[in-house]
A and B are shown apart, each in its own frame.
Chain A
Amino acid sequence: MSEASSAPLAGALPHAADADADADAGQEPPGGSGDPWHRASPAAVRVAGGRWQDDARAVKMVWRRELIRFSRNRLRIITSLVQPVLFLFVLGTGLSSLVGRGLGAAGSDFRTFMFPGVVAMTVLFTAIFSSVSIVWDREFGFLREMLVAPVRRGALVVGKCAGGATVATLQALIMLALAGLVHVPYSPVLMCTLVGEMALAAVTITALGTALASRMAQVESFQVVMQFVVLPLFFLSGALFPLRSLPTWLAVLTKFDPLAYIVDPMRRAVFANVHTTASVRALFAGGVTWNGWTVPIGVELGLTAAFGAALLGVAIYAFGRTD
């Protein structure tokens, strides 16, 4: 340690480094025999910034972080499956016996009806959870690290939404894999259609969650969002029961639920691929109607995309104003 004693500052703190309570006993203290500072003295890097490529890098990195966090939290992946599986196989089976009797022998498996609803539910819950994690980032300080970076806030929001949407789509893919158990065929066209619709739904819902999170200061607010936003969206979406022949008050409410325009195209895609009677198909997959007019799938998907784009704009605007 002769070098150390000759270095004035290291000499002034002779035991500082060695006595560090950290677990990295194998590390060399500064000024130690193999002085890491001499080897280090890092060459300065020049930071560019301000160009669209820089924003693209930021988007990609924020997106990647979401995926890393998702892949590292296996327990969350599994626990997130419990609820939709219970809905599909317990509630679905229970209701199947009831609904089947009412419809007679032609009654298709009610679980087939519920399947797209439960997949949409998986997207909804995962996407909301991912985007509202911004509130946790705020709580644990990491949001500050992002907000002080010399990149446009919009890039951070887009990255976060893309990440949350990817995670939600991946999680819903696991549910989609269970299709065969409820008599939904693994037709490539159907699967591709559903994945596309899931992804669109995931983007829109993540944008919704991000817009909400921009105004949430505390982790406790997450419960408020769950009770006042997520659960009403879910229950009014038609995920669990057909939206036809409802009392007027409920029918009106369901038409204002953006999630209804996500569940419906998915359900119509499923029923286009299963064998059943025309009456069952009309009851279960009749589509959302406006004043008697059945809304085409294209319009439903367009509405979802437009809603998502608007929410993304709100989220970008809201984060541009926070510090």
Chain B
Amino acid sequence: MTLSSGAAIAVGNLSRRFGALEAVRGVSFEVLAGETFGFLGPNGAGKSTTISMLCTLLKPTSGTARVAGYDVVRDRAEVRKRIGLVFQETTLDDYLTAQENLRFHAELYGVPRGQTAPRIEDVLRMVGLLERRDGIVRTFSGGMKRRLEIARGLLHSPRVLFLDEPTVGLDPQTRAHIWSYINELRQRESITMFLTTHYMDEAEHCDRIAIIDEGRIVVEDTPEHLKASVGQDRVQISTEDDAAAIVALRDHFSIDATVSEGATVFYVHRGEEFVPRLFAQLGVPIRSVSVARPTLDDVFMNYTGRTIRDAEASGSERLASTPWMRASRRR
């Protein structure tokens, strides 16, 4: 495995095992400087384990990883100086003010004394919290805390910013707000970002994504290419008898359909033109039909044979997923 030295992140055959469980099974990828790279997958797919290894918080069982040019095992301290972290869970001191939390970070990361105050002001302004700098963090909303953590992650001018599920647990509006900040950040600072998400729509914000499932990278490309690779439209039908409908689809159209989330789903070219034929020839009463252009959900389905939601439901996952959020988006 050769790793190019110019990459911001270069990972070769990285694995991590917890006892009998193989959380990450040999992943390899590269992230170029300035790129925003997303790890997309259901809860329990190995995203957080991978990010923990890249952030030097967890030692790999095997394989190599270099971040900002340094090995995550041998040069831990060098890596740590060059990365910013926004964790899945909040890691702020609730009893300190926003400014004090940043000050703490600046001192521990050795931001030069003369630059500490202006830099804190800069990052607070960047996330729109300058006016609340003296507010005790305990009084902040979830979205404000997350923004403060993003500001803190940037405080020491890291080369790579890691965001582990940056919007998990936030309401849809706040999530959109956080994303507008991340996108602005991408444009203003020449920073490499590595993020994980299990929200399909969020993966669309990335330059490139890797779909990870059961500890392996299933596919890796730009969101556009991935969607184009599916090529077909997604048709979802609801019928009087789904089992009969699936048989009929196979017999009359040679189409393999699956049942997902209570509906029969299949993929065809030119879905709109197919629908009239469907009504004419299926022979099973149809209650409703919807046709959609490929989304990343379909990409996931295409490569793993199930939806991300089913993958999460089937996985022995202790984290509570939030299907209502995705369900509401689907409409």
Query: Which A residues are within 8 Å of any B CB, using their own CB?
Result: 9-10, 13, 16-17, 19-24, 26-31, 36-37, 39-50, 54, 57-58, 60-61, 65, 68-69, 72-73, 140-142, 144-146, 148-151, 323
Contacts and interface: CB of A to CB of B under 8 A. Distances in A.
B276 interface: no
A49 B180 contact: no
A268 to B, nearest CB: 39
A44 B157 contact: yes
Contacts of B143: 20-22
B183 to A, nearest CB: 4
22 contacts: A9-B187, A10-B180, A13-B180, A16-B176, A22-B144, A24-B132, A30-B128, A30-B181, A36-B125, A37-B126, A41-B188, A42-B154, A43-B122, A45-B155, A47-B82, A47-B157, A65-B104, A68-B96, A69-B93, A72-B136, A141-B90, A151-B110
Contacts of B57: 144, 148, 323
Interface in B74-89: 77, 80-82, 85, 87, 89
Interface stretch (B111-119, B237-245, B246-254): B111-119
A17 B112 contact: no
B28 interface: no
B107 interface: yes
Given A20-B177, A21-B173, 10 more contacts: A13-B180, A16-B180, A21-B174, A40-B123, A43-B118, A45-B111, A144-B87, A148-B85, A149-B80, A151-B110
Nearest to B57: A323
B107 A24 contact: no
Interface residues of B, number: 60
A73 B183 CA distance: 39
A138 to B, nearest CB: 11
A59 B176 CA distance: 38
B109 A22 contact: no
Contact of A36 (B119, B128, B136): B128
- A interface, over-half SS: loop
Contact of B80 (A17, A48, A150, A323): A150
Given A17-B180, A19-B173, A61-B103, A142 B92 contact: yes
A69 B90 contact: no
Nearest to B182: A9
B189 A16 contact: no
Contact of A60 (B92, B100, B107, B144): B107
A28 to B, nearest CB: 7
Contacts of B111: 45, 47
Contact of A27 (B56, B94, B129, B174): B129
B131 interface: yes
Given A17-B177, A47-B81, A323-B58, A58 B108 contact: yes
Interface in B28-70: 55-58
B12 to A, nearest CB: 22
Contacts of A28: 128
Residue among A21, A26, A40, A57 with most chain B CB within 10 A: A40
B123 A42 contact: yes
A81 to B, nearest CB: 20
A39 B157 contact: no
Nearest to B77: A150
Contacts of B141: 21-23
Interface string B140-172: 010110000000001111000000000000010
B293 interface: no
A42 B126 contact: yes
Contacts of B184: 9-10, 30-31, 37
Given A29-B180, A141-B90, A142-B91, A36 B126 contact: yes
B129 A24 contact: yes
A144 B136 CA distance: 20
Q: 5 closest A-B pairs (Cβ-Cβ)?
A: A42-B122, A61-B107, A141-B91, A16-B176, A149-B108
Residue among A19, A24, A151 with most chain B CB within 10 A: A24
B279 interface: no
Nearest to B191: A44
B306 interface: no
Residue among B55, B95, B174 with most chain A CB within 10 A: B95
Contact of A49 (B90, B94, B109, B131): B109
A7 to B, nearest CB: 8
A61 B104 CA distance: 6
B171 A47 contact: no
A48 B125 contact: no
B259 to A, nearest CB: 34
B100 A68 contact: yes
Residue among A17, A36, A61, A150 with most chain B CB within 10 A: A150
B174 A22 contact: yes
A142 B108 CA distance: 13
Contact of B188 (A26, A37, A50, A72): A37
B201 to A, nearest CB: 12
A303 B237 CA distance: 80
A185 to B, nearest CB: 38
A73 B156 CA distance: 30
B262 to A, nearest CB: 31
Residue among A27, A72, A73 with most chain B CB within 10 A: A27
Contact of B173 (A20, A29, A39, A40): A20
